[in-house]
A and B are shown apart, each in its own frame.
Chain A
Amino acid sequence: MRKLTFLLACLLLVSVGLVNAQSKSISGKVVSADDGQPVIGATVKVKGASMGTITNADGVFKISVPESQKALVVSYVGMMNAEVVAQNGMTVKLQLDSKMIDEVVVTALGIKRDKKALGYSVSKVEGGDLQKSNEPNIIEGLAGKVAGVQVTSTSGTPGASSRIIIRGQKSINLSSQPLIVLDGQIIDNSINNNAGSGTNVGGVDDSNRAIDLNPEDIENVSLLKGAAAAALYGENARNGVIIYTSKKGSKRKGVGVDFTASTGFEVLSNMVDLQHTYAAGTNGTTYVAPAQYGSDGFATSNGTNQSWGPLISSVPGLKSYDNVKNFYKTGKTQNYNVAFSGGNDKGTFRASLGHLNQTGIVPNTSLKKTTFNLNSEYNFTDKLSVGADVLFTNTSGVRAQKGSNVSGIMLSLLRMPASYDVRDYQTSQGYNKNYYAYYDNPLYTVYNNPYKDETNRMILNGHINYKYSKWLNAMLRAGADTYTTHAQQNYSYTSNGNSTSDGSGQVYVDTYNKSLYNVDLIFNGLVSLTDDINLNYNAGGSINSTSSNDLYSIGSTMLEINKFNLSNFSTFTAQNYDSKQIKEGIYGSLEFGFYDQFYLTMTGRNDWSSTLPKNNRSYFYPSILGSWLFSKTLNLPSWVSLGKLRGSYASTYAAPGPYNTITTYTTPYYYDTFGPQLYSPYGGVGAYGYSTTLKNPDLKPEHNKEYELGLELELFNRLHLNTSAYKSTNYDLLVTAPIAPSSGSSYYYTNGPTVENKGLEIELGYDILKGKDLEWNVSINWSLNRNKVIALQDNLNYSAEGSDYFSGSSPIPAVVLGQPLGVFYGSYYKRNSAGQLIIGSDGLPVMATDSKIIGDPTPKWSGGFRNNFKYKGVSLSFLFDIRKGGDIWDGTLARLNRLGVTQASANNRAATYVIPGVLEDGTANTIAISNKAYYVSYLGDGSGSVNETSVEKDINWIRLRDVSLGYNFTKLISNAHSLSFVRNAELTLSARNLFIITNYKGIDPENSFAGSSSNTIGFDYFNSPSTKSYYLTLKFGF
Chain B
Amino acid sequence: MKKIKYITILAISFLALTSCQSELDSYNDNSNSPSQITYPTTLLTGAEVGTIMNATGNLPRTFTLLTQHTNGNSFQSLDFTNYVLTETDNETDWSNIYQAGLNLNEIITKFGSTYSYYDGVARVLMALNMGYATDLWGDVPFSDAFKGLSNFTPKYDTQQEVYTKIQLYLDSAIIDFAKPSNTTIVPGADDIFYQGDVDKWTKLAYGLKARYAMRLSQRDGSTVAATKVLQYVANALSSSSDNLVATFDGGNNQNLWYGFDNQRGGYMSMGKYFIDMLKTDIDPRLSYFASKDADGGYSGSAPEDANSDASPFGSYFAGSGSTSNIIFSFSEVKFLEAEAKARLGSTADAQIALQAAISASLIDVTGSDDATFAATYSADASIKNIITQKYISLFTTLEPYNDWRRTGYPVLTPNQNSQSKKIPVRLITPRSERTLNANATVVSSMYTPVWWNN
Contacts and interface: CB of A to CB of B under 8 A. Distances in A.
State yes or no: do A and B come from one complex: yes
Interface of A: 1, 282, 301-302, 304-305, 406, 436-438, 468, 472, 474, 500-502, 521, 523, 539, 541-543, 545, 556-557, 570-571, 573, 576-578, 580-582, 584-586, 608-612, 614, 617, 658-659, 661-666, 668, 670-676, 678-692, 694, 738-746, 748, 795-797, 799, 808-809, 827, 840-842, 844, 846-847, 849-851, 942-944
Nearest to B306: A282
Interface in B19-37: 19-20, 23-28, 30-37
B27 A581 contact: yes
A406 B264 CA distance: 10
Nearest to A844: B419
Contacts of B45: 680, 682, 685-687
A670 B50 contact: yes
Given A500-B254, A580-B27, A743 B99 contact: no
Contact of A672 (B92, B147, B148, B252): B92
A396 B91 CA distance: 40
B428 interface: yes
Contacts of B222: none
25 contacts: A501-B259, A521-B11, A542-B18, A577-B32, A578-B31, A586-B15, A665-B36, A665-B42, A670-B53, A673-B92, A674-B76, A675-B264, A676-B260, A678-B256, A680-B46, A681-B252, A683-B248, A688-B46, A689-B47, A739-B152, A741-B94, A742-B433, A746-B432, A809-B76, A850-B87
B380 interface: no
Interface string B242-276: 00000111011110100110111111000000000
Instruction: For the complex of A and B, list the 4 residue pairs with the smallest distance between their C-beta atoms, beginning with the closest.
Output: A744-B102, A571-B251, A740-B437, A676-B259
A557 B152 contact: no
A665 B33 contact: yes
Contact of B33 (A542, A666, A796): A666
Given A474-B7, A683-B249, A672 B256 contact: yes
B3 interface: yes
B116 interface: no
B249 A850 contact: no
A694 B266 contact: no
B267 A678 contact: no
B308 interface: yes
A741 B95 contact: yes
Given A692-B99, A745-B102, A847-B84, 12 more contacts: A302-B308, A468-B7, A502-B262, A577-B32, A578-B32, A678-B256, A740-B440, A748-B152, A796-B436, A797-B435, A799-B432, A808-B86
B49 A668 contact: yes
B66 to A, nearest CB: 15
Nearest to B89: A808
Interface stretch (B138-146, B223-231, B355-363): B138-146
A674 B260 contact: yes
Given A664-B30, A682-B253, A673 B35 contact: no
Contact of A557 (B8, B144, B149, B251): B251
Interface string B195-207: 0000000000000
Given A659-B28, A799-B432, A799-B435, A687 B148 contact: no
B15 A302 contact: no
A317 to B, nearest CB: 21
B79 interface: yes
Given A611-B28, A676-B259, A684-B249, A846 B419 contact: yes
A678 B23 contact: no
B175 interface: no
A288 B294 CA distance: 13
A745 B148 contact: yes
Nearest to B438: A795
Q: Which of B24, B145, B294, B445: most chain A CB closer than 10 A?
A: B24
B346 interface: no
Contacts of B100: 670
Nearest to B81: A943
B294 A943 contact: no
A582 B23 contact: yes
Contacts of B11: 1, 521, 523, 539
A687 B321 contact: no
A459 B42 CA distance: 44
A363 to B, nearest CB: 26
Given A666-B33, A674-B76, A742-B140, A687 B46 contact: yes
B78 interface: yes
Contacts of A437: 265
Contacts of B88: 808-809, 851
Contacts of B265: 302, 437-438, 501
Nearest to B436: A740
B372 interface: no
Nearest to B294: A301
Interface string B87-112: 11111111110111111011000000
Contacts, number: 327
B192 A685 contact: yes
Contacts of A673: 58, 89-93
Given A670-B50, A674-B58, A302 B266 contact: yes
B153 interface: yes
Contacts of A1: 8, 11
B394 interface: no
A639 B121 CA distance: 88
Nearest to A739: B152
A381 B191 CA distance: 75
Given A571-B252, A585-B18, A849-B428, A746 B99 contact: yes
Contacts of A523: 7, 11
B24 A668 contact: no
Contact of A850 (B259, B431, B432): B431
Contacts of B77: 674
A679 B99 contact: no
Given A659-B32, A741-B430, A608 B24 contact: yes
A681 B91 CA distance: 25
A687 B40 CA distance: 10
Interface string B33-68: 111110000110111111011000110010000000
Given A664-B30, A689-B99, A739 B3 contact: no
A684 B322 CA distance: 14
A685 B189 contact: yes
B15 A541 contact: yes
B82 interface: yes
Q: Which of A282, A305, A679, A689: most chain B CB closer than 10 A?
A: A689
A670 B49 contact: yes
A841 B419 contact: yes
B263 A501 contact: yes
Nearest to A306: B74
Contacts of A670: 49-50, 52-53, 57, 96, 99-100
Given A686-B45, A740-B433, A844-B419, A668 B50 contact: yes
A748 B147 CA distance: 13
Nearest to B16: A541
Contacts of B98: 741-744
A684 B87 CA distance: 36
B17 interface: yes
B32 A744 contact: no
Q: Which of A680, A827, A840: most chain B CB closer than 10 A?
A: A680
Nearest to B190: A685
A648 to B, nearest CB: 26
B147 A743 contact: yes
A689 B103 CA distance: 6
B49 A678 contact: yes
Nearest to B433: A740
Given A659-B30, A944-B419, A501 B262 contact: yes
B384 interface: no
A799 B50 contact: no
Nearest to A674: B264
B434 interface: yes
B35 A662 contact: yes
